[in-house]
Structure 1
Amino acid sequence: MSHDGVGPRAVMRSVAFLTAGALAVPLLAGCGSDDKAGKPLAGPEIAPAARALVADGGTLRWAVDDVPETLNTFQSDADAVTGRIAQAVLPSMYRQDAAGRPVRNADYLESAKVVDTEPKQVVLYKLNQQAVWSDGREIGAADFAAQWRALSGKDSAYWTARNAGYDRIEKIERGANDLQVKVTFARPYADWQSLFSPLYPKDVMGTADSFNDGARRALKVTAGPFAVRKVDRKDDRVTLVRNPRWWGHPAMLSEIDLEAVARDKRAEALAAGKIDLAEIDPADAERIDLAARAKGTSTPLQGASPLLGPGGGRLAAKSLRSWVRAHDGELSGSRLRALKKRLRQLERKEKQQANLRAFEVRKSLEPAYTQLALNGSAGPLADERVRRAVARALDRKALAETVLKPLGLPAQPVGSHLALAGQAAYADNSGAIGGQDTAEAQALLADAGWVRGGPVKPQKKKGDKAAGSQGKKARETSEDGDGTYIVGEDNKADERKDRGGEDGAKHLADGKQYGDGHLRQGGAPGAYAPKGTAAPAGASSGLLAKDGKPLVLRFVIPSGPGSETLRTVADRIGTMLARVGIRTDVTKVSDDSYFKDHIASGEYDLALYSWPASAFPATDARPIYAKPVPAADGSLNVEQNYTRVGTDQVDQLFDQAASTLDSGENHALIRKADSRIWAAAGSIPLYQRPQLTAARKTLVNTGAFGFQTPVYEDMGFLRKGAKPSASASAKR
């Protein structure tokens, strides 16, 4: 899960986040004519070019969020950058194609198939005979066995994050020769293709010490097109260089530098020529698009003040210089200094804009979706009827359009918790709960005992003298400067126009997927008595109450830079809920505490965060939706189910799917589990996350990858005079 970014599936296995960065397809065959998956809503946009058109050499400077704490993807503090490095330097038996489906990686694997199912499942791997580690040793059964033992969960000395799949293996043996690996499972395991990707050498997995500490700061032995030269925490950089023992197509780049650059600094870094590739927010994407257009022809409006920036286009600085010249004798000293300062700002910005013309924005949709999480452990949302009412109040199509339509991306709501459109396990199961229906939402709330205009007792809240009083315009501001406010209160804020849609979302940012700009809220609909009519005691715009308490849900969102999208979406959701009588108390918290102190600890009613879509949902999605159970110490073990909503039936369906080798039956079980998850209304998928990547125009075979696993050896810069082609293939 991630409120930040989505990473590859290896990252999802090791941490609750995602991001990347990095995050549902069947494991065996497709569904044939009964395939409900459809096509991906957006494919990769990577400026494909044949290798013959790519220059030999060069350094790609790639902006990332941070230098990872560990290079071991199976540790709990691995992140999206850990996974990105692993993709470039370590073997993966399978990779994902543009539709998010696993395909055999021929650089490492000649074949892999289930050769026996009775009495036990046996998978036979036949390795590429050229595949060797960077120390010259062949990749073989010893590496597979070492990874199994480390991740099986049987030795607590290994600090592993997850053991799913490896704990089902009974033994690993050498096959008929050194290139064959025979894996026998104690229990059937449908997601066997998820294993050994990435594969670490036995040097890392062989002992607990080397696993726990040896691979955190360095990887001395690798087996990919690149190798790790240096992890430099002082300069915030990881340097990857060509692997001289790589047997596949040679890497076109001589070096890849992964450089930590904050998202709000990336446009400046691009303009300064410090980086070549970076995921960016929509506001920066708009800057790059504007830079690519023809020079502006704006001129100062008659009577316009130069301090406001005459000439709204790229001629602003020129216009200001001309205006100052024409009025030089009329300007006082202070006004002249202000104008010169403004001129320097415009000139600096225009220089940046000119430099940004060397870049373009490549767009896709991430293999991850944003959801509304409903904490069902306590309070009003412990009642399934209230959760279902929240779901029925939402116009998910409008929310998707708010985020994606201004970016020119398909604005289709996500219909599954367990897969995304194009992945083989995908089917739109949202019908299990139904679409937006105000009357149905109100009926569910009434059935749960929440009535309009009921008496409300004053509700005290820390920091408020009378949090339950009506007409309160805003909460007090917290110590860190992040305030809270109520959507649905009877005040003027509710009468302001809802600026949703394209205009309201024009400058959204979904880089970190949470934000600080809100849409203004519209008032809750209802009849209004003649002026002067006294309202019933405790009534507030027809909002709901039960047992003397108003129906107010605490909506927690992060407050850091790049958080505009989540905050905008949160405000639109608040408006939708107000229309059925539910108020939302929106609380902004610091980025550092958002997950740790609120999501993971259950200190919220509503929250927005993201989950990556896995190619192996029976394995990877189970802990996200598993029914919480009491732990030995008396606490509640929620695994990764931060909504605390789960059922025995969903758990059973996941278990059945994980043990079902028939792909059609496996998909049917996954879809059935998803329908049950929808019905429980613990989380409501909203939209697939946008992926915006700024890339130097001469940089090819990289950009916005969507589902597709990057092919690092094909990345590079065009030869002089060469041009990328949309029809050119970077495939080998």
Structure 2
Amino acid sequence: MSHDGVGPRAALRSLAFLTVGVLAVPALAGCGSEDPAGKPLAGADIARADRSGIADGGTLRWAVDTVPDTLNAFQSDADATTTRIAQAVLPSMYRMDGRGRPVRDPDYLESAEVVDTEPRQVVLYRLNQQAVWSDGREIGAADFVAQWRALSGKDTAYWTARNAGYDRIEKIERGKNDLEVKVTFSRPYADWKSLFTPLYPKEVMGTPDSFNDGARKKLKVTAGPFTVKEVDTEEDEVTLTRSTRWWGDPARLSTIVLRAVPHDERISALSAGTVDLAEIDPAAVRRITAAALPRSASSPLMGPGAERSAADALRSWAVANGSDEEAADEEISARKKLRKKMAKYARQQKALTGFEVRKSLEPAYTQLALNGADGPLADERVRRAVARALDRKAIAETVLKPLGLPAEPLGSHLALSGQAAYADGSGALGEQDAKEARALLADAGWVPGGPVKKEKDEGEEAAGSEGEKGGDSEEDTESEGGDDGTYIVGEEDEGDGGDGGDNKAPRDSGTSTKQLKQGGAPGAYAPKGTAAPARAENARVAKDGKALTLRFVLPSGPGSDTLRTVAGRISEMLERIGIGTKITKVDDESYFKDHIASGEYDLALYSWPATAYPATDARPVYAKPVPAADGSLNVEQNYTRVGTDQVDQLFDQAVTTLDASERRALLRKADSRIWAAAGSIPLYQRPQLVAARKNLANAGAFGFRTPVYEDMGFLKKPARGPGAKSAGPSAGD
């Protein structure tokens, strides 16, 4: 499981791997004549081609993370592959366009509109008259009714993961004819376009048994350009075949094989020719990019033995041919192994010349989560100090600039640039300002140079921990022009001489501690004009004899290199305002369940998917935790445990406001309040890196857009001469 990754949109907004005081919220950036939503930072990169230039037939082998445990997207163990299959084989009333906004899918839906709001909201769907299930039955009101009843939450026999929106439906009726479906809501619901996507047949949704078990490993009835042929758990692949009942543009491919391939094995799979399309990491991008370079002396050296110098090679030759037979045998064996690795690497690089990297930004963002349940981060001032210490632009550049992608920090928790609800609300928190961050810490009682009890936890990596200089070193300083007074930090017992602090000047016995206190945090102030001690800006802050050190939990898997790099940059930034971090790496499998969801962390990095329906999908992520009947805290998906009544109220208003402009204003206001609470700090939109066979068209880095499966395929080979017929598919046939 990649904890920097994300799964499908669900009522429980899925991962791939939040008290505000009286705060003035500034006007949102960009408000005025220009639309603050802006444009997507990057478009799709899919080698777009006209259908006429794509060969008929062929098999696309597509690497995925897992073979799903269920084909029912509304169950709790559905994953990203479940969603990918549903997009190819099931109806969707609305899909995402290139700006991350919902658009009607004309293959299923001729129109849909709110036809009444009083006394109830009524939506009238007019279905495409050609839309039928694979068994020949028309898609109609019976399917809508079955899905509503299954997902409404009223019948607990259905093991559903969500009922958002469906619980607001009062009734569903047939309209004037079989192609009309009339949906009446008991309460206004602004995100009604999110419903019935995907739409399952009544054969799946009709009974608890068929819902719970019938669609886990097979879908007998479908309605898309492809149908599910087989889920093979032994071979770890799902096979989709072209549907003969599809009424839209016929699929160019005859087969799509979704094959589970771990991320660290994808370069091997690509070079071996067992996959044609795969999301990859930056290291794999470098391999494919290097493979396309001409072989010359100026080409960068990569692969096994690349780090060996001429002196190393000479030394190896000398040992292999030396008089010490045992050492020579070992060196000869090592040289043989190295030659095999180099030969394998060279073969792989040659095979990789048939691929290219397609890049965009994923409809998901990475955030820094701050656990506000207990510990130092329960204090809003400390959370805000952490946030004000971060240079989000520098962090985004660290991740995205080397990939040639737009390196812009994200300005919203609820939408991405280009989406309707997007506006930069970060002004509610303020820009990076180390001075302001230190002032917030001082106001919370965390001051530089106080007495610190040394602590060291085994099994953890300390970044800026107490043992480093600045935690308990001592240094005398003098202010300009002589001794103007003393610099007092922390409340200390009389007679201790001020020992144990960071970079403190000696106590001046002519000035009492009482005279020096001027209000605010006890002991955090000195007489006007007092010079700060040397390196005071970087001195560790402490309170009650304990330095401020935050537990930073990260996954340890091979796909988490980017997260660890980002964590290192964040730790450096926090060190500059006197906050230390203890980085703990944990197994990928336990990272989310045992640490994020259970609240066993101070700082963590994980991603959320973007959604076209933030009023519905984002609410459980930022809802104020409430006590449950058993005394536990119900956090829903708010794993930072930071929330406010005002944010909840704004979400509640937004989800019932049918006017689009009013709804956007409410969501942007909610986002500003979330920024001000500093429970989570959006950092950057995630990179989307895809390796694709060069002759594969209409597939790759899709960005916001829902893939159009019927348009994917391999380009026709050029004709060999006048009147020559085109060759068939060039790969995976």
Please classify the TM superposition score into its range, dividing by the shorter chain length.
Answer: 0.7 to 0.9
- Residue 694 (1) aligns with residue 700 (2): no
Deviation readout 1:274-304 (Å, 9 max, x if unpaired): 1000000000001000001111326999xxx
How far is the alpha carbon of 1:136 from its aligned partner?
0.7
Residue identity opposite 1:376 in structure 2:
G
| Per-residue deviation, residues 284-338 of structure 1 (Å, max 9, x unmatched) | 001000001111326999xxx98955699xxxxxx999x989x989995443333
Decide whether the 8 Å contact of 1:368 with 1:612 is kept in 2: yes
Instruction: Say if 2:654 is the partner of 1:672.
Output: no
**Are 2:329 and 1:353 equivalent residues in the alignment?**
no
Q: Is the 8 A contact 1:306 1:320 kept in 2?
A: no
Match of 2:15 in 1: 17
User: Equivalents in 2 of 1:561, 1:675: separation in Å?
Assistant: 35
User: 1:476 is matched with which residue?
Assistant: 458
Structure 2, unmatched stretches of 5+, are 18-30, 478-496, 504-537, 721-733
Q: Which residue of 2 aligns with 1:487?
A: 463
* Separation of aligned partners in 2, 1:379 and 1:581: 17
Equivalent runs, 1:386-401 vs 2, <5 Å: 386-401=382-397
Judged with a 3 Å threshold, the aligned counterparts in structure 2 of structure 1 residues 698 and 306 are, in CA distance, closer, same or farther, namely: closer
In structure 2, distance between residues paired with 1:638 and 1:69: 26
Q: Is the 8 A contact 1:14 1:74 kept in 2?
A: no
Cα 1:579–1:320 shift into 2, 3 Å: closer
Distance, in Å, in 2 between the alignment partners of 1:664 and 1:676 is 19
Contact 2:13–2:609 (CA under 8 A) maintained in structure 1: no
Quickly say closer, same or farther: Cα 1:251–1:299, change in 2 above 3 A. closer
Task: Output the CA distance in 2 between the equivalents of 1:193 and 1:153.
Answer: 19
Question: Which amino acid in the other structure matches residue 352 of structure 2?
Answer: L
Partner of 1:713: 710
Counterpart in 2 of 1:586?
Answer: 583
Any idea what SS the aligned residue of 1:608 has?
Answer: strand
Q: How does 1:265-284 map to 2 (within 5 A)?
A: 265-284=265-284
Normalising by structure 2, report the TM-score: 0.84
**Residue in structure 1 matched with residue 369 of structure 2 by the alignment:** 373
* Cα deviation code 1:97-120 (max 9, x no counterpart): 111111100000000001111111
- Counting aligned pairs with the same residue, the percent is 71
Query: Do 1:394 and 1:577's aligned partners in 2 also have CA atoms closer than 8 Å?
Result: yes
Task: Give me the whole-angstrom Cα distance separating, in 1, the residues matched to 2:465 and 2:574.
Answer: 12
Counterpart in the other structure of 2:500: 537
Specify the code of the residue in structure 2 equivalent to 1:159: W
Q: Which residue of 1 aligns with 2:656?
A: 659
Please state whether the residue corresponding to 2:559 is helix, strand or coil: coil
Report how far residue 78 of structure 1 moved: 0.7
Structure 1 residues 215 and 681: CA distance shift in structure 2, 3 A: same
> Offset at 1:548?
2.2
The alignment partner of 2:344 has SS state of helix
Larger radius of gyration: 2
Helix, strand or coil at the partner of 1:713:
helix
Distance in 1 (alpha carbons) for counterparts of 2:396 and 2:306: 38
Equivalent residue in structure 1 for 2:617, among 605, 611, 620: 620
SS in 2 for 1:135: coil
Distance across 2 between alignment mates of 1:589 and 1:320: 39
User: Which of 571, 588, 593 is the aligned partner of 1:574?
Assistant: 571
Aligned residue number for residue 415 of structure 2: 419
SS at match of 2:642: coil
Q: State the 1:535 CA deviation.
A: 8.4
CA distance in 2, matches of 1:284, 1:299: 17
Give the conservation status (yes or no) of the 8 Å contact 1:524–1:581.
Answer: no
> Which residue of structure 2 aligns with residue 409 of structure 1?
405
Cα distance between partner residues in 2 of 1:601 and 1:680:
21
Per-residue Cα deviation, 1:121-161 (whole angstroms, up to 9, x for no partner): 10000000000001110000000011011111111111111
Please give the residue correspondences for 1:456-605 in structure 2 after superposition, counting only pairs within 5 Å: 456-457=452-453, 466-467=455-456, 475-477=457-459, 484-489=460-465, 529=476, 536-537=499-500, 539=502, 542-605=539-602
Q: How does 1:138-537 map to 2 (within 5 A)?
A: 138-297=138-297, 309=308, 332-457=328-453, 466-467=455-456, 475-477=457-459, 484-489=460-465, 529=476, 536-537=499-500
How do 1:119-138 residues align onto structure 2 when only pairs under 5 Å count? 119-138=119-138
Shift of 1:13: 2.5
RMSD: 2.8
**Which residue of structure 2 lines up, in the alignment, with residue 6 of structure 1?**
6
Q: Distance in 1 between matches of 2:2 and 2:330?
A: 49
Matching residue's letter, 1:442:
R
- The answer to whether the Cα contact below 8 Å between 2:127 and 2:179 also exists between their aligned partners in 1 is yes
User: What is the TM-score with the length of structure 1 in the denominator?
Assistant: 0.84
Give yes or no for contact 1:456–1:548 (8 Å, CA) kept in 2: yes
Q: Which amino acid aligns with 1:8?
A: P
Question: Displacement, 1:47?
Answer: 0.1
Q: Structure 1 pair 297/580, CA: closer, same or farther in 2 (3 Å)?
A: same
In structure 1, list runs of 5 or more residues that go unmatched: 20-30, 313-318, 459-465, 468-474, 478-483, 495-522, 724-732
Distance 1:309 1:432, change over 3 A: same
Q: How many residues align?
A: 648
